[in-house]
Amino acid sequence: MRSLKFLALLLAVAILITQSGCWSSNEIEDLAVYAGMALDTGEESPEEKTFEQEGGSYSKQNKITATVQIVPLKTGSKDEVKGKTSPYTNITGTGDSILEIFRQFSLRLNKPIIGHHLKIIVISSQLLQQRNIKQVTNFMLRDNDIRPSVKIFLSSGKALEALTIKTPDEVPSFYINDVVQNQFRTSKIMDAVLLTDLDAMMHSKQSFILQNIIQAKKHIEFSGAGIIKGDTGRWIGNLTQEDVECIDWLTNQGDSGTIKTYDEQGNPITYEMKAMKTRIRVESDQDNQLTFQVHVETKGRISEDWDMEGNPALRSYQKEIEKLFKSKLTSMIEHLLSAMQNRYKVDVAKFCQAVRIQKPGLWKEVKSNWDEAFSASKINLDIDLQITDFGSTTK
């Protein structure tokens, strides 16, 4: 009797296990992993228009167009097909809510899409002219699939075109994701802004910049940065590549950087930075008029010099060239400062941090309209550039 009861219990447990089966299990090959996402202004793609003509539509106002890049495309069972097919497929949908668009994809795809491996989000600056970045990225911040380490980029042209660039045997999303690694070679690439950074910056209501991508004939270039105004969350303009470079000089973050200038004869000479140290001191008078003393200290080498006469080993020659570089760097930084203070009236070079740390009392007062206070402030530049090295040859 007892053993019978025991047997029944064992059976019950066995049934429980087998019936519940594989809860929420979903084999990896039955999922569509998307690696990149592009957000554009609401404009239906040609195939969507055709769908609509056939009657495939639902109630929507076409506020946004979302494109996801699904990898890898089924390569076919044998190797011979490989090489002909592209390693990815893009799918575009237009609608009002990103989640709804994604659910709509389920009508067109044979697998559910998952965002665990999302690497980049490219947002067209045109879209951000119309909508607040908070609205556009709301879904990505809420979704539990998408990692907070997704990199955010802006695109001058259509964002979805950044996902269709020609890359040899590589997925455009990964390609763009990897370009950021070249940062150690040029400071024209800014630190990647991750989704979590974006969240923090949007909450702080300070203006910030996002890496801009431009396209030409299915090729891309990282070029400058788009400025997002803090209080409106809209895109207001772009900084140039040299401006982005100078932001690194000002925020003391550059670990790579070159300055190219010309001597009197028009020969190009290039300075390669090896070490830098930037200090910003904040001063203020009675009416809260701010003055920033920016002190840039840098050491580096002459990496390229087309001048055939001068002897770079001579200290006098070096001093001469130092002056040239100094004036070039000053003009570059001043270009950035004028763009920030006069043209866009935003602080995207973290001057606010200096104020917050050095004058906390004052910061509380100016915090609410910092961009205006910054635009009205005076900035004094003091550059100390020193050439320590001229490479392995004097000529």
Q: According to CB under 8 A, which one of 1, 17, 216, 308 is a site residue for another protein?
A: 17
| Other C-beta atoms lying within 10 Å of the C-beta of residue 275 | 12
CA of residue 358 relative to chain centroid, distance: 29
Q: Does 26 bind another protein (CB under 8 A)?
A: yes
Regarding 22 and contact with another protein (CB under 8 A), the answer is: yes
273: part of which helix (H) or strand (E)? strand 268-284
Residues constituting the chain: 395
Answer for the pair 101, 24: CB distance below 8 angstroms, yes or no.
no
Query: Which residue's CB is nearer to another protein, number 2 or number 203?
Result: 2
Q: Is 274 in the site for another protein (CB under 8 A)?
A: no
Measured from the CB atom, the residue of 87 and 237 that comes closer to another protein is: 87
Q: Which of 1, 4, 23, 217 binds another protein (CB under 8 A)?
A: 23
Residue 170 lies near another protein (rule: CB under 8 A):
no
145 three-state secondary structure:
coil
Does residue number 9 form part of the binding site for another protein (CB under 8 A)?
yes
Q: Give the residue with the Cβ less far from another protein, 61 or 144.
A: 144
- The most distant pair of C-alpha atoms in the chain lies apart, rounded to whole Å, by 108
Residue among 49, 50, 74, 221 that touches another protein (CB under 8 A): 74
**Residue 171 and residue 169: Cα distance in Å, rounded?**
7
- Starting at the edge strand that comes first in sequence, how are the strands of the sheet with 290-305 ordered? 258-262, 268-284, 290-305, 378-389
Q: Which of 1, 27, 53, 287 binds another protein (CB under 8 A)?
A: 27
C-beta of 19 vs 316, nearer to another protein: 19
Give least dist CB 25 to another protein, A: 4
> Helix crossing, 315-338 with 241-251: angle to 10°?
110
3-state secondary structure of 313: coil
Mapped onto helix, strand or coil, the DSSP state of residue 387 is: strand
Distance in Å, CB of 114 to another protein, minimum: 7
**Stretch in the footprint of another protein (CB under 8 A) among 20-28, 39-47, 92-100, 308-316:** 20-28
Q: Which of residues 296-315 bind another protein (CB under 8 A)?
A: none
Residue with tokens 């400062």: 337
Written as six digits, the tokens of 375 are 């635009």
Instruction: Please report whether residue 116 would count as binding another protein according to CB under 8 A.
Output: yes
Minimum CB separation of residue 137 from another protein in Å reads: 20
For another protein, the closer of residues 31 and 362 by Cβ is: 31
Distances in whole angstroms, Cα of residue 259 to Cα of each of 242, 280, 322: 10, 21, 11
Under the rule (CB under 8 A), what is the footprint of another protein? 2, 6, 9, 17, 20-29, 31, 33, 35, 71-72, 74-75, 77, 114, 116-117, 119, 145, 147, 174
